[in-house]
Structure formats: C-alpha cells, structure tokens
C-alpha cells in the first residue's frame, strides 16, 4: 500500500501537461512496419501502422494486435478476457512489456489483453521469436512492446481530443496533452470507455437455434497516464511515469448457460523512474519500476475472490560504440514479485526473487552484412536458469534485396500458480525450454510515385518440458509432461501508388502455423500429433485505402481458418471472414485540425466465435470526432 500511495501522490502533485498531436490521417507514411537492424538483427519485428493505430486505438489492444500483426487472438465476447498465440505458442510464452518493463501477471504468467488501456501508448511493436531476449526472458513465442508517448522536442503545447459513439451502447472519450518548457517536459493521457455489448446472436446450443440478446455484458474502462521529465543537462535526463488502468466487467453467459451474475474488477498501476545519460560513444539507462495488479472476481455462488500481485523491477542498460562498426550492449535486472490470493493460495503470500544479466555484440556496417551475438543468464530464487542466447545475421547485397536469419534459445519459468496453488501446486517443476530458428528474405523498391515491398519468413521452434495440469486422484497438479513443435511461414506485402492527388495503399499478410504436440502427458494422450487448440493453421489479412486531399476511404478484410477446440482435434470452430470499412475527413485551419470518421465493423454481418459458445457481435457502427491543436 505504501507503493500505491507514492503513485497517487505523484499523480496528485503533478502539473497538467499537454499532449501529442497525431500525424495527419491523410497521406500517412507508406510503412512503419520494418525490421530495425539496430535492435534485433536477423529477427522479425513489426510495428503498427500510424493510420490503422489511430482508428483502432479506441477498440483496445486486442483489436490492434489481431488487425496489425501475425498474432492470433481470442476473447470471451467483446471486452471479455482476451488471450493470444504467437507462432503457435501459448499466451504464457509471450512477454508484454511497457516502456521496457515486463508486466505479465506472475500468478498466471500472461497478460489479459482486455485489461490493458492504450492511454499514453503511442503504438505497439511485436518482436517475434528470440528477438525480445534483450528485454527479458520467457518470450519463447515473442514479445509485445507498448510504446510510450514521445515527448515534444520544442517548447510549446499540443492537444488531441477524441470522442466516439457506436452500436451496442458504446461510447468513450480520450484526451492527450503534451508540453515542454525549456528543460521541463511532460504528457498527460486520459481515457474513458463504456459498452453494453447487448447485441443479438443465434444461440447454436439450443435445438431451435433461436435469436437471443447478449445480457450482462457491460464493460467500463478508465485509463490515465502521467509523465514528467527533466533535461538536467545535455547529457542527462530524468523522467517519471505513472500508468493507471481500471476495468469493470460483467461476465456474460455462454450459449450453454441460462444466465450469469459473474463480474470481474481489474486495477493495474505501473510506475517508473528512469535516468538516462548519453556520452560521446555510450548510453546508460537505469530504471526503477513498481507493478501492481488487483483482481476481484464475483462468481455464480455470490462469493468474491481477491487476487493481488506486486513487483519491484530494476533494470540497467549500457550501450557502447566500440568503433569499427562494433556495438556492445550489456544489462542487468533485479526483480522481486509478491502475490496473495484467497482462492489460489488460501491467503498465504508468496515471493519470488529474480536476477538476470545479458551481453550483446553487434557488427553493423553501412553496407552488405550485419551480425549479432547475445548471451543471457537468469537466476530465480538462487537457482540458475537454462543458458539463453541468440545469433542473428542479415545480408543486404543490394539496396532492394536482403536475407536474414537467427537461432535462439530461451526458457520460461513456472508461474506462481503452478508452484503454490492450493491444493496441487508443484514446487519441483522444471523450466520450460525453447529452441527456435528462422530465416527470411525481403524485397523493397520504389520511386517517387510507386513503392513496393515483400517479406517472407520461415520459422521453427521446439518447446520441451511444457507444463500441463493433470489429475492425480482428486487433485489437479502441474507437471512437465508435454513437448510441442511449431513451424510456419509469415509473409507480408506493402504497395502504394500516387497519381495526381490520389494515393492508393495496399497492405496484406498471410500466416501458416503448424503447432503440434510431439510428446504427450500420458502413453495414450490423444493430443500427440495434433494441432494445439485455438491455433489456426491459416490466417490472412489485407487493408486497402484511397486518399484524396483531406478525405480517405479504408477497407479491411480478415480471414481466420478452422480452429480446434479439443486436444484430440475432433471438435472445431469453422473458419470465418470479417470485414470493415472506414470513411474519414479532416479539416485544418492554422493550428487547429478537426476530423471525423465513420466505421462499419463486420460489414457483411457474419456470425462467428473466437472461443467456443461465446458469440461475437454482428454488424456495428462507430463514429469518431477528433480535434487537434499544435
């Protein structure tokens, strides 16, 4: 509680600063999705497109990821608990980081996408496979980075205000403000959103398959982010940030239930204090962070369960230019995590202490070839983890063609629930280990009026000692009884053509992922040789937009293949395709910009489910009004 109090004091005493003006919706950058050789050599990295992120930000992180990346998401109705799969792995195999700080729940080892407010988040970046090892371990599938709002570079103030309303009782408002005065800079972001989600659906669980209205599905979200910074001198910068998110949900019944009274309240606080020093050939960054999460679950038996976790996380990063195109980086982490749950641990608190160190050497010339070698070691409660590392190479023989590849070894520690659940926790669990490799090529060319790019990547990974919960008598307990092999292909295409005042853009992506159990939990395990549940074999996404002066039209289409719902692959959800269209206009008068856009989601009113017996909404409408001042 002391740490929470410090966070609230920081919020109370901070002066109001004013926020970021987004780039114009008209004529956006051709692409912001590209590999960044400085950070992850030989690895796949994608970042959200500027225009699409603006349109999707109010819909939450789940919508951003499923539209803008190779990630497969699934949720228990709109606004409900949302999890995901990266390259055929489980949600516990992907790390989510905020401003470089891991924020996964140590009890479950994963992040519920529906509880993350995008207040103060300017974009999302996904590092696939071992690319996230410089951030932290555990991201066998990948790492999702929430990018913080960048400060102003010049003195002054800018403001952005959004308001929106739509179908099923959806409405919300968001405000971003940034300012800078000499050595002081800061930003403030506020978000409020609510949706009743009272849409009609066909209940497939009944003989008559009658139409029904989804009930008890109200979601309310509040988000707040405050950042303050000081340029002490030309070399030293000190900044502090507090993030607050609060989500209150009614949990609706599935098609198999008559009614539900379940609710879930989630509160998250993330706070960080960062010092950064830039030398002639080096950069050092030190971060002290506090992570707090609190969930209150009210079940069908009218009992409220309380779950609380807290963590102090300290990180140091050092970068040094050695000359001769060599770049050295080293870092260290010191975490301590605490969790208490009246249902999971019978109110007994549990602690975990985690230290880590890594070192990386990169060779990055201006032309031809680049390479990276990284090694990392973690120590958890005094026990050394499996050795981790990455070797990556990129070759660029011409300006328009490049080849990349990497080999990585990673691990994932058991969660606190795996270790201490009462009854059934297993303190003798081994770490899961992951070995992966990938290779790909990229082709990019363009002139003033035409640009074209195509990327293709093949990946493969093996996860051993996969933790699975199994019955022992009347008690379920976790055991290292499974191995999973994943392989796949990721491709993306980007093209743009300018003719006169017209700009045409096309972005497309296709993913094929085979993720199969190679070693079962028992001798007769029916999952062996079968696809993991809820991992589609095929996914495809495409966006086409036309821009004319201040006007734009965007059409998006998404295909998700069949997904198995049982480990023996005898039950499945059918493939589905959904589309959306957005029409927008902006008007600028000196320092003021006003905009309006209208979106139709699920344009063809397709009935579909991402989780069995959990309906998703049909056609819906959303209108958004925006104002910007710079």
Concatenate the DSSP letters of all residues of 470-490 into one string.
EEETTEEEEEEEEEEEEEEEE
pLDDT at 78 over 90: no
Say which range, 31-40, 505-514, 550-559, has the weakest mean pLDDT: 31-40
Other CB atoms within a 10 A radius of the CB of residue 513 amount to 25
Looking at the 3D structure of the chain, how many domains does it have? 1
pLDDT the model gives residue 555: 97
Confidence of residue 77 (pLDDT cuts 50, 70, 90): confident
Backbone φ and ψ for 500, nearest 5 degrees, come out as: 65, -125
Confidence of residue 66 (pLDDT cuts 50, 70, 90): confident
pLDDT the model gives residue 38: 52
Buried b (16+ CB within 10 A) or exposed e, 2-19: eeeeebeebbeeeeebbb
Place of tokens 């006003």: 594
Do the beta carbons of residue 531 and residue 564 sit within 8 Å?
Answer: yes
pLDDT at 14 over 50: no
pLDDT at 24 over 80: no
pLDDT at 25 over 80: no
pLDDT the model gives residue 484: 96
pLDDT the model gives residue 17: 33
pTM above 0.85, yes or no: yes
pLDDT the model gives residue 374: 96
Other CB atoms within a 10 A radius of the CB of residue 520 amount to 18
pLDDT the model gives residue 521: 86
Instruction: Write the CATH number for 503.
Output: 2.40.170.20
pLDDT at 159 over 60: yes
Reported as a single tens digit per residue, the pLDDT across 390-432 is 999 999 999 899 999 999 999 999 999 999 999 999 999 999 9
Say which range, 19-28, 217-226, 440-449, 457-466, has the weakest mean pLDDT: 19-28
Say which range, 16-20, 48-52, 326-330, 368-372, has the weakest mean pLDDT: 16-20
Confidence of residue 307 (pLDDT cuts 50, 70, 90): very high
Backbone φ and ψ for 242, nearest 5 degrees, come out as: -125, 130
Confidence of residue 19 (pLDDT cuts 50, 70, 90): very low
Domain residues for 159? 2-629
Place of tokens 């856009």: 597
Among 18-22, 67-71, 460-464, the range with the most confident prediction by mean pLDDT is 460-464
Contacts of 308 (CB under 8 A, 6+ apart): 293, 294, 295, 339, 340, 341
User: Which tokens go with 463?
Assistant: 């996860």
pLDDT the model gives residue 388: 96
Mean of the per-residue pLDDT values of the chain:
90
pLDDT at 103 over 90: yes
Reported as a single tens digit per residue, the pLDDT across 539-585 is 999 999 999 989 999 999 999 999 999 999 999 999 999 999 999 99
Average pLDDT over residues 34-60: 79
pLDDT at 13 over 80: no
Average pLDDT over residues 114-133: 92
Torsional sign, CA 159, 62, 130, 437: negative
Contacts of 306 (CB under 8 A, 6+ apart): 294, 295, 296, 340, 341, 342
Confidence of residue 35 (pLDDT cuts 50, 70, 90): very low
């Amino acid at each position: 509680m002391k740490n929470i109090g410090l966070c609230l004091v920081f919020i109370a005493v901070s002066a109001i600063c004013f926020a970021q003006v987004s780039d114009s919706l008209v004529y956006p950058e051709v692409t912001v999705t590209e590999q960044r050789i400085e950070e992850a050599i030989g690895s796949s990295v994608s970042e959200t497109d500027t225009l699409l992120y603006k349109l999707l930000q109010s819909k939450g992180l789940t919508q951003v990821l499923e539209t803008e990346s190779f990630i497969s998401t699934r949720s228990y109705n709109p606004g409900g608990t949302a999890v995901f799969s990266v390259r055929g792995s489980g949600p516990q195999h992907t790390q989510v980081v905020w401003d470089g700080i891991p924020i996964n729940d140590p009890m479950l080892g994963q992040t519920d996408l529906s509880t993350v407010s995008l207040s103060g988040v300017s974009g999302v970046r996904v590092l696939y496979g071992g690319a996230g090892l410089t951030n932290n371990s555990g991201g066998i599938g990948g790492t999702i980075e929430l990018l913080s709002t960048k400060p102003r570079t010049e003195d002054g103030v800018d403001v952005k205000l959004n308001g929106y309303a739509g179908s099923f009782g959806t409405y919300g408002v968001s405000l971003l403000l940034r300012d800078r005065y000499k050595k002081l800079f800061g930003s403030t972001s506020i978000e409020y959103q609510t949706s009743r989600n009272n849409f009609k659906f066909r209940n497939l669980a009944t003989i008559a398959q009658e139409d029904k209205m989804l009930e008890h599905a109200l979601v309310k979200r509040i988000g707040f982010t405050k950042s303050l910074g000081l340029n002490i001198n030309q070399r030293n910068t000190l900044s502090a940030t507090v993030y607050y998110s609060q989500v209150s949900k009614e949990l609706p019944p599935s098609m198999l239930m008559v009614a539900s009274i379940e609710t879930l309240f989630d509160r998250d606080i993330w706070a960080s204090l960062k010092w950064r020093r830039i030398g002639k050939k080096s950069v050092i960054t030190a971060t002290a962070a506090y992570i707090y999460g609190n969930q209150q679950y009210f079940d069908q038996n009218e009992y409220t369960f309380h779950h609380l976790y807290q963590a102090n996380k300290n990180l140091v990063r050092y970068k040094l230019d050695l000359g001769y195109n060599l770049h050295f980086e080293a870092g260290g982490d010191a975490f301590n995590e605490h969790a208490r749950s009246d249902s999971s641990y019978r109110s007994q608190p549990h602690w975990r202490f985690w230290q880590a160190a890594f070192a990386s050497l990169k060779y990055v010339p201006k032309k031809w070839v680049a390479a990276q070698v990284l090694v990392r070691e973690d120590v958890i409660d005094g026990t050394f983890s499996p050795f981790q590392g990455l070797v990556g190479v990129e070759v660029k023989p011409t300006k328009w063609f490049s080849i990349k590849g990497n080999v990585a070894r990673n691990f994932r520690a058991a969660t606190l629930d795996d270790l201490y659940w009462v009854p059934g926790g297993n303190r003798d669990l081994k770490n899961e280990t992951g070995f992966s490799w990938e290779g790909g090529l990229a082709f990019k060319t363009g002139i003033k009026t035409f640009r074209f790019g195509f990327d293709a990547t093949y990946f493969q990974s093996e996860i051993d000692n996969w933790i699975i919960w199994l019955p022992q008598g009347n008690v379920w307990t976790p055991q290292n009884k499974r191995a999973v092999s994943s392989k796949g292909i990721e491709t993306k295409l980007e093209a743009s053509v300018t003719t006169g005042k017209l700009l045409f853009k096309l972005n497309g992506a296709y993913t094929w992922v085979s993720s199969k159990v190679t070693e079962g939990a028992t001798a007769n395990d029916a999952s062996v040789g079968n696809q993991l549940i809820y991992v589609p074999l095929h996914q495809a996404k495409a966006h086409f937009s036309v821009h004319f002066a201040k006007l734009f039209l965007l059409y998006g289409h998404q295909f998700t293949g069949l997904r198995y719902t049982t480990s023996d692959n005898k039950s499945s959800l059918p493939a589905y395709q959904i589309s959306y269209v957005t029409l927008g206009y902006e008007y600028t008068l000196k320092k003021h910009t006003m905009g309006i856009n209208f979106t139709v989601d699920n344009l063809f009113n397709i009935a579909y489910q991402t989780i069995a017996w959990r309906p998703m909404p049909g056609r819906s409408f959303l209108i958004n009004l925006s104002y910007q001042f710079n």
